[in-house]
Chains A and B, each alone.
Chain A
C-alpha cells in the first residue's frame, strides 16, 4: 500500500466507471459490506489527505467514504484503498474489483 496521490488514484478509480464492479467497503470498527455488485457511473477523490472518495451508481445511489490514506492496484487488477492511523490500524477500506472478493 502506498500513500494516495489524489490524481493518480482518481484515474485508477475512474477505470471502473461504466463497469459492473464488486465493492468491499468498511468502517473497520463498525460496519462492512462485501461483494455488493453495482454499476459505477461517477468516481471522485477529493481532499488534501486524508482523502474523501465518492462513487455514484447507475439509476441512483451514492457511496461516500472519508479518511482514506493509502492505495494499491493489486496483481488481480483490483483497486484497494485504505485509511490507516499513525500506528498502522485500519479505520476504513474501499476495494473495487471486476470479480467477487473471497468470502
Chain B
C-alpha cells in the first residue's frame, strides 16, 4: 500500500459465496483496506437463502430469508466500507451445480471491468463448504485466464495459517494482516448479520468482551507467490 500512486485509487475485488463470508472471515482486512482508500467490490454468489439460522428466537422462514440476508449484507458493506455489491443470484447450496464455464466467464469479465490490484476468494479445496469451493474454483480459473494470479489471495479461517506448514504451505506463501485497529468495524458487521449471529451469545456481550474474542490478525494464502519474500508479508 505504501507504493500507492497519486490519483487513481487501488482496487480490491472479493468473490465469495454467502452474505456474512465477507464479515466473519476477513471483515477486519476489508475495513482496513477500505479505510486506506481501496475501492472495494464484493461479489456474493448467493443471497444465503438456504441458511439454517433463522434468528433467535426465530423470526424468519425460507421465503423471507433472502431479502433479510441481503438487507443485512448491505448494512455490513456500509460498515466495512465496501462500496459496490454484486449479487450473482445463484441459489444458496447450488453454486457447485452452476455452469462452471459461464460462472468463470462472468468473473473474468468483472476482472476486466474493475482491473483489481487484489482479488480475494475461497481456496477451492480448503473452502470448507461446497459453495465456497465452487466460487473459489471459478474465481481462480478466471484469474488464470486473465493472467492475474499474482493478485490472487485465498481467505482462510481464524488463525489456522499462523502455522502454514501444517497445511503444506510456508510462511512465504502467507500474508498476515494486522486488523487490530479495525475490530470494532468487524464486530459491528457481525452484528449487522443479526439473524446469523443472534444465537452466538458472545457477539452480543458488551463491546470490550466481544472484541476480545477476535484474533488480531487475518491470514491469506498467496495463490502465486512471485518470488521469495520475507516470512509473513503484512500487506497484499
Chain A contact residues, CB within 8 Å of chain B: 1, 24, 26, 28-29, 32, 70, 72, 74, 78, 80, 82, 84, 87-90, 93, 95, 101-103
CA distance A1 to B78 in the complex (A): 29
Q: Is there contact, CB below 8 Å, between B91 and A90?
A: no
Interface core residue of B54, B55, B64, B199 (most chain A CB under 10 Å)? B54
Say whether, besides A82-B54, A84-B54, A89-B199, A1 and B59 are in contact (CB < 8 Å). yes
In the assembled complex, B168 has its CB within 8 A of some CB on chain A: no
In the assembled complex, B228 has its CB within 8 A of some CB on chain A: no
Nearest-CB residue, chain B, relative to A82: B61
CB distance from A34 to the nearest CB of B (A): 8
Q: Main secondary structure on chain A at its contact with chain B?
A: strand
Nearest-CB residue, chain B, relative to A91: B52
CB neighbours (8 Å) of B199 from chain A are: 87-89
- Since A24-B63, A84-B54 are in contact, a sample of 4 more A-B pairs with Cβ atoms closer than 8 Å, ordered by chain A residue number, is A28-B50, A72-B61, A93-B61, A95-B62
In the assembled complex, B57 has its CB within 8 A of some CB on chain A: yes
Q: Is there contact, CB below 8 Å, between A32 and B50?
A: yes
The residue that A82 contacts in the complex, of B62, B66, B93, B198, with Cβ under 8 A, is B62
Hey, what's the 0/1 contact readout for B45-65 against A, CB within 8 Å counting as 1? 000001011111111111110
CA distance A78 to B57 in the complex (A): 22
Q: Is there contact, CB below 8 Å, between B61 and A29?
A: no
Nearest-CB residue, chain A, relative to B66: A102
**Interface residue count on the B side (C-beta < 8 Å):** 19
Closest 9 CB pairs of A and B: A88-B56, A88-B58, A87-B199, A84-B58, A80-B61, A89-B52, A93-B62, A28-B52, A90-B54
Interface core residue of A32, A74, A95 (most chain B CB under 10 Å)? A32
CB distance from A77 to the nearest CB of B (A): 12
CB neighbours (8 Å) of A29 from chain B are: 52
CB neighbours (8 Å) of B59 from chain A are: 1
Q: Is there contact, CB below 8 Å, between B61 and A1?
A: yes
CA distance A90 to B63 in the complex (A): 13
Q: Is there contact, CB below 8 Å, between B63 and A88?
A: no
Q: Is there contact, CB below 8 Å, between B66 and A90?
A: no
CB neighbours (8 Å) of A95 from chain B are: 61-63
CB distance from A67 to the nearest CB of B (A): 13
Nearest-CB residue, chain A, relative to B200: A87
CB neighbours (8 Å) of B50 from chain A are: 26, 28, 32
CB neighbours (8 Å) of A103 from chain B are: 91
Interface core residue of A24, A80, A84, A93 (most chain B CB under 10 Å)? A84
CB neighbours (8 Å) of B91 from chain A are: 103
Would you give 7 A-B contacts (Cβ < 8 Å), ordered by A? A1-B61, A70-B61, A72-B61, A88-B54, A89-B52, A102-B63, A103-B91
Nearest-CB residue, chain B, relative to A29: B52
Q: Is there contact, CB below 8 Å, between B58 and A74?
A: no
Q: Is there contact, CB below 8 Å, between A89 and B54?
A: yes
Interface core residue of A26, A88, A102 (most chain B CB under 10 Å)? A88
Q: Is there contact, CB below 8 Å, between B53 and A24?
A: no
